[in-house]
Amino acid sequence: MSDQNEQQIRQNKLDNLIKAGMHPYPEKFDKQYDLSACPELKEGISLSTAGRLIMFRDMGKITFAHLQDSSGKFQVVFKKDVVGDNEYKLFIKNIDLGDHIGIEGEIFTTQKGEISILVRKWTFLGKALLPLPEKWHGLKDREIAYRQRYLDLISNQETMKRFEFRSDFIRTLREFYWLKGFYEVETPTLLHSATGAHATPYKTHNNALDIDVFLRISHELPLKELIVGGFDKVFEIGKAFRNEGHDPSHLPEHTHLEHYCAYWNYEDNMKFTEEMIEYVFDKLKISRQLTIKDRDGQEKIVDFTTPFERINFIELIKKDTGIDITKVRDTEKLLKKIQDKKIVIDGMEDMGYASLVDNLYKKVSRPKMVGPAFLYFYPIELQPLARRNDKDKNIVDQFQLVINGWEIIKAYSELVDPLDQEQRFKQQAELKQSGDNETMEGDPDYITAMKYGMPPISGWGMGVDRMITILTGQENLRDTVLFPLMRSSSEDQK
C-alpha cells in the first residue's frame, strides 16, 4: 500500500474519532507516571499514563498493546467488558500503530504473569497519518535515520539511550566546570574574521551593516579577550562551523567546548583533563575499559585509567618516518624527505611547512595511536596562537589528547605577547598569499586587546561530538548528532 493510500485510510479513521466527539488535537493529558515507572507499582494501584502505540494484538474481547515514551515501553490491556462495548470498538477500528493515546486504569498481572495496566478509560491524543517504519538495517536505512531522526528515535531504543547519554554528558561537563569555579559565557557566532584554527570558513553578508562576516571556526579569541577584561576562568559550549568535507570524524557543524584559565600553563590543563575524565566517568558510571573499533573496523580496548601516556610529537614522527623535523625546517627540503620515504600525501606539492608536518603525522602516526595519549612538543609553525617553549624557541607548549586515532582535545599555553602574535599573524598572511589555504587568519582587533595586557593563560578545546562518539562505541559522528547536515532529498534525486 502506498503512503498516500495509507494516509487517506488513517485520515478517515481520524474523521471517525472526531465524529465520535473526540478532539483531534487535545490540549493536554494528566500523565501521572512515565511508562518505565509502571513495573515498580503495586498491583491494584490506579494511575494514568500515556505514550505512542507501538504494538497491539486484538483477541476479540481483549486486546494487548504496548505504549512507548522516552523512558521505555509497557503493556496495557483493553477488555471489552471493562472499557465498554462502544469505546472498545472505537479503539479497535480507528487507532493505528504510531498513534498517541492516554489511558487510565490499574496495575494488574495477566494470566501469563506479565505486569500490565488494565485500561478502564482511554483518551485519543494524536493520530499518526503515516505508518512507522517496520525495520531498520543497511546503509539506506541509516540515511533515513539521519534525515528523519525522529523515526530513528521511535524505532530504536538504543538511539534514544545514546542521545540521552549525550545530554547527560554535556550536563556533567557543566557541573565539573562549576565545581572548579568557571563561569559559562557566550561569544559571537558571526565574526569579522574566521580565526582560531586552521579551517575554511563559511562566509555570509549582513544586510543592515552591509558587511561580510564569517561563521566562527573556533571560540578562542573572544574568550581570551574576556581574560583581558578580568575573568580568570571561562568556558563555552557551542557550535563551530568549518567548510570541510564529511567523513566519520569530521562534520561541517560541530559542538565545541573551550575554556581559558588565567595563570595556568598547558601542564595544568593536562591535569585538569585527567580530573575531568575521572569525574565524568564516575558520575555517569562509564567503564574505564571500552571496546572501540579502529579505522579498519578492528576492535581495540581503550583504557581510560589515568594518568594517560605522554608522547613527544617530534620523536613520534621521527620514529615512524625517520624524519627529524627539528632539523628539516624548510618546506622544499621536507617535501623532498617525504618523497624519498615514498610517503604519499594528497596535495602535498601545494602545502606549506606546517601543513606538510601536520599531514605527515596524520598519514603515518595518528592512525596507529590507540591512546588515550597526550601528544606534546609541537613545532611553532603548527600553532600560531601558542606560547613558545622557554627552552626551545622553535617549539610551542601544546598538547593534544588522541583516542583511537582521533584528536579529541587540544590545549596549550597561550601566546600573550602582542608583538610576537602580530608577527606570527603576518607570517600566516604571507603563507596564505603564497597559496597555502590551511593557514590561520589574523585579527587586528584581537592584537589591540592583547596590548592592554594579559596574564599567563592556558586554553583548552574539546570536540564534544567526537568524545561522545568514542564513549558510545560509534564509528561515525553522524550517529551522535541529532540532525547532521545532509543534502536535501530533492538534490539527491537530481
How much is the pLDDT for 367? 86
Q: What is the DSSP string of 367-391?
A: GG--S-EEEEEEEGGG-TTBPBPSS
Who's near 405: CB < 8 A, 6+ residues apart? 294, 295, 366, 367, 368, 369, 370
Task: Indicate if 182 and 215 belong to the same structural domain.
Answer: yes
How much is the pLDDT for 136? 52
Burial 195-229 (b: 16+ CB within 10 A, else e): bbbbbebbeeeeeeeeeebbbbbbbbbbbbbbbbe
How much is the pLDDT for 320? 92
Q: Is residue 340 part of a domain?
A: no
How much is the pLDDT for 184? 98
Task: Indicate if 110 and 157 belong to the same structural domain.
Answer: no
How much is the pLDDT for 303? 95
C-alpha cell at 407: 584528536
C-alpha cell at 320: 615512524
pLDDT in tens, 340-351: 889 989 888 888
Q: Which of 129-138, 222-231, 267-276 has the lowest mean pLDDT?
A: 129-138
Confidence of residue 109 (pLDDT cuts 50, 70, 90): very high
Q: Which of 199-213, 236-250, 433-447 has the lowest mean pLDDT?
A: 433-447
pLDDT in tens, 250-262: 899 999 999 999 9
Provide the annotated binding site for Mg(2+). 407
Task: Indicate if 83 and 229 belong to the same structural domain.
Answer: no
Q: Is residue 27 part of a domain?
A: yes
**Hey, what amino acid is at 350?**
D
CATH number of the domain where residue 83 is located: 2.40.50.140
Q: Where are the alpha helices (DSSP H) in 95-200?
A: 138-147, 149-155, 157-179
- Start-to-end CA distance of the chain, whole Å, equals 26
Q: Is residue 108 part of a domain?
A: yes
Q: Which of 117-121, 132-136, 193-197 has the highest mean pLDDT?
A: 117-121
Task: Indicate if 121 and 172 belong to the same structural domain.
Answer: no
Q: Is residue 354 part of a domain?
A: no
Provide the annotated binding site. 407
Q: Is residue 493 part of a domain?
A: no
C-alpha cell at 78: 483493553
How much is the pLDDT for 435? 63
* pLDDT of 216 higher than 60: yes
Q: Is residue 494 part of a domain?
A: no
How much is the pLDDT for 439? 63
Task: Indicate if 72 and 212 belong to the same structural domain.
Answer: no
CATH number of the domain where residue 479 is located: 3.30.930.10
Contact 251, 217 (CB under 8 A): no
Count how many domains the chain has: 2
How much is the pLDDT for 484? 93
**Domain end call among 93, 126, 159:** 126
* pLDDT of 492 higher than 70: no
Using only C-alpha atoms, the chain has a radius of gyration, in whole angstroms, of 29
* pLDDT of 133 higher than 60: yes
Task: Indicate if 297 and 424 belong to the same structural domain.
Answer: yes
Task: Indicate if 95 and 154 belong to the same structural domain.
Answer: no
Task: Indicate if 409 and 460 belong to the same structural domain.
Answer: yes
Task: Indicate if 379 and 283 belong to the same structural domain.
Answer: yes
* pLDDT of 352 higher than 90: no
Length of the chain, please? 494
Q: Is residue 360 part of a domain?
A: no
Pairing mode, if any, of strands 211-215 and 253-262? Answer: unpaired
* pLDDT of 437 higher than 80: no
Nearest Cα neighbor of 305 from 283, 332, 278 is 278
Confidence of residue 384 (pLDDT cuts 50, 70, 90): confident
Q: Is residue 458 part of a domain?
A: yes
Task: Quote the DSSP letter at residue 198.
Answer: S
* pLDDT of 21 higher than 80: yes
260 DSSP β-pair partners: 234, 459
Domain of residue 193, residue span = 147-308+371-486
Residue 416: other Cβ atoms inside 10 A: 18
Measured CA to CA, the distance from residue 174 to residue 184 in angstroms comes to: 8
How much is the pLDDT for 250? 86
C-alpha cell at 21: 466527539
Confidence of residue 282 (pLDDT cuts 50, 70, 90): very high
* pLDDT of 197 higher than 80: no
pLDDT in tens, 33-69: 999 999 999 999 999 999 999 999 999 899 999 999 9
Measured CA to CA, the distance from residue 8 to residue 69 in angstroms comes to: 26
Task: Indicate if 260 and 292 belong to the same structural domain.
Answer: yes
Q: What percent of the chain is predicted at pLDDT more than 90?
A: 69
Task: Indicate if 298 and 437 belong to the same structural domain.
Answer: yes
| CB half-sphere exposure, 320, CA atoms < 13 A | 21
Residue 166: other Cβ atoms inside 10 A: 21
Nearest Cα neighbor of 258 from 245, 248, 269 is 269
